[in-house]
Chains A and B, each alone.
Chain A
């Protein structure tokens, strides 16, 4: 690929990430409780990595934050606003989400994947939405792939389109649900670098991940969850170098 898309002149864009606070969040699938009294705060512009074994409720937690799955009790406070007090569609416009399997729209080209919600949610004109979408694709290094359909893109490229799609809505918080778990190993780094870059530019991020290196290097806060509860929370150094609980020690010995 050429680097003709490089634009070095202007200032780097920064984000205005909001604070996010979870208050005793509990969630259930029918009668089965999968999340119990989860509370933590993410300061504006910081990155929180959520780690834990499969089935610990990490993905459910993210879906509770933007109410893709309705919480059973508790609340989420986004920049001072109660998430349960907002209409879900309004809440979700303020929170971007990136999925493990990208969930791009397969019958649209990359550009349209990003532009679609700009037109239909933000009410932009066709031209404006395309221009805005193109800028986001440039940002994630896909200027030259903007006319490709998802099936003609690699997993890494698809995930970057998905990140561009979420960013285009100008969210205050970004949620990443195992964003690199479905990628080939050599493509993981690129997506993680992109994510770290967003954090560095002031985005508030909640990142569910199995990439311990990323969590250690990038996170301002790490949350370890197991069986639907926060078992340990703190700085990366605290959790990775001085794990207190038996469960976290066991988990780390399995994944590191």
Chain B
């Protein structure tokens, strides 16, 4: 049973796990959530801009959006994070102070916005052309038609994909540790890794992993569960009626009274 003890000790050293818990909760979880949520919010805003540029009739908007997307989607996340985190360190110092934390968030946001932009673009483009035609026929401007009718429908369709993107950002937030975070800024992975050095086994990292799963797994299932509702909106149940009844429905209607189109 020697190997069994080794495995238990390496991965499931409950003492080490319990020791790291307070730090994981108070520092790691908090920072992971802050980094992920901030990156997602910025990513969604930038992503929407990139998406709207990407479907613009003007190539002067489309082409920059395309290049931006290709760039940040095509590079490995770790490379982008290092380039931005170290490349702009001096600039960042004068704005945010010495911590690389804001640069980490910015780098993650840029990466996320490229993916989210594509998600939005696909969603908006999947909206039937008849929708914008109907808006235009009613006298709405292109901008209003997009903002009031087309984009909201596109967003609704891609909400599940956005949640998946958030999951991906949560996992990628662990890469920010490369920039060298201060003790109080460490996210889950870094807290677990530091504790693992002290405990001499991997149990704190396993515990950090559990925290990631606690965030990501319920979200994954939530997406599947709500997929249909997100797509089409809440549904009001209506009993089916025979088409024949509709004929009565019309005869019940009066050709309008007290109208103003005279």
Contact = CB atoms under 8 A, between A and B. Distances in A.
Genuine A/B complex: yes
Given A7-B254, A68-B133, A103-B128, 20 more contacts: A1-B246, A1-B249, A3-B248, A13-B257, A13-B258, A66-B137, A88-B136, A89-B136, A97-B134, A97-B137, A105-B131, A121-B138, A138-B253, A157-B249, A170-B261, A186-B244, A187-B243, A190-B246, A193-B250, A201-B255
Interface string B132-143: 011111111100
A89 B144 CA distance: 11
Contact of B262 (A16, A97, A165, A189): A16
Contact of B130 (A4, A101, A120, A142): A101
Interface in A116-166: 116-117, 120-121, 135-136, 138-143, 147-149, 151-152, 154, 156-157, 160, 162, 165-166
B258 A68 contact: no
21 contacts: A2-B252, A4-B252, A6-B253, A10-B258, A13-B256, A95-B137, A99-B130, A99-B134, A106-B153, A117-B139, A121-B138, A136-B256, A138-B253, A139-B254, A141-B250, A149-B235, A152-B237, A186-B243, A187-B243, A190-B247, A201-B255
B262 A120 contact: no
A121 B232 CA distance: 26
Contacts of B238: 148, 152
Nearest to A1: B249
B22 interface: no
Interface string A79-99: 000000000111011011101
B224 interface: no
Contacts of B133: 68, 99, 103
A194 B250 contact: yes
A186 B249 CA distance: 13
Instruction: Give the interface size class of chain A.
Output: 35 or more
B243 A92 contact: no
A131 B152 CA distance: 25
Given A13-B261, A92-B137, A194-B250, A103 B130 contact: yes
Contacts of A92: 136-139
B146 to A, nearest CB: 12
B103 to A, nearest CB: 39
B94 interface: no
A151 B232 contact: yes
B240 to A, nearest CB: 9
B148 interface: yes
Interface string A32-63: 00000000000000000000000000000000
B75 to A, nearest CB: 36
Given A13-B262, A106-B153, A106-B232, A7 B138 contact: no
B58 interface: no
A107 interface: yes
Given A7-B254, A9-B257, A13-B262, A165 B246 contact: no
Interface in B92-112: none
Given A13-B262, A15-B261, A169-B139, A1 B245 contact: yes
B30 interface: no
B218 interface: no
B221 interface: no
B136 A68 contact: yes
A12 interface: yes
Instruction: Give the interface size class of chain B.
Output: 35 or more
B259 interface: yes
Contacts, number: 165
B29 to A, nearest CB: 36
A11 interface: yes
Nearest first, the 5 closest Cβ-Cβ pairs linking A and B are A141-B253, A13-B259, A3-B252, A10-B257, A93-B139
Contacts of A143: 253
Interface of B: 128, 130-131, 133-141, 144, 148-149, 152-153, 156, 232-233, 235-238, 241, 243-262
Contact of B140 (A10, A121, A162): A121
B249 A135 contact: no
Contacts of B141: 89
A68 B141 CA distance: 12
A187 B252 CA distance: 15
Contacts of B144: 120-121
A150 to B, nearest CB: 10
A197 interface: yes
A135 B256 contact: yes
Residue in B128, B237, B254, B258 with the greatest tally of chain A CB atoms within 10 Å:
B254
Contacts of A152: 235-238
A193 B246 CA distance: 12
A190 B236 CA distance: 25
A7 B134 contact: no
